[in-house]
Amino acid sequence: MVKHNYAFGGCGVTPSIPRGKSRIDVYLTAEREKRFKEEVFKRKGMKKGNISEAVEEAISLWINAEPSKTVRRKED
């Protein structure tokens, strides 16, 4: 049996990657991560997989946006 540590910071134990998915690591400021997670929890609830789902939605929106509409914003 594989034990998973989903707590923030973790202890180096990586959960298994679901079939048909791949993993991507990103670095965010602590504030941006906090705000993103808060928004995910507000919109989708605290269900396993909701953060991944929200990231997939954000990436799809960014990929499908017209380049002229992709405006670099000042940090919030």
pLDDT at res. 4:
45
Tens of pLDDT, residue by residue, the chain (76 residues): 544 444 445 556 667 888 999 999 999 999 999 999 999 999 999 999 999 999 999 999 999 998 875 566 666 6
44 domain residue, yes or no: yes
By residue range, what is the domain housing residue 62? 30-69
46 domain residue, yes or no: yes
Number of domains in the chain: 1
pLDDT at res. 76:
60
- The secondary structure of the chain, three-state, reads CCCCCCCCCCCCCCCCCCCCCCCCCCCCCHHHHHHHHHHHHHHHCCCCCHHHHHHHHHHHHHHHCCHHHCCCCCCC
- Count of CA atoms in the C-beta half-sphere (13 A) of 43: 12
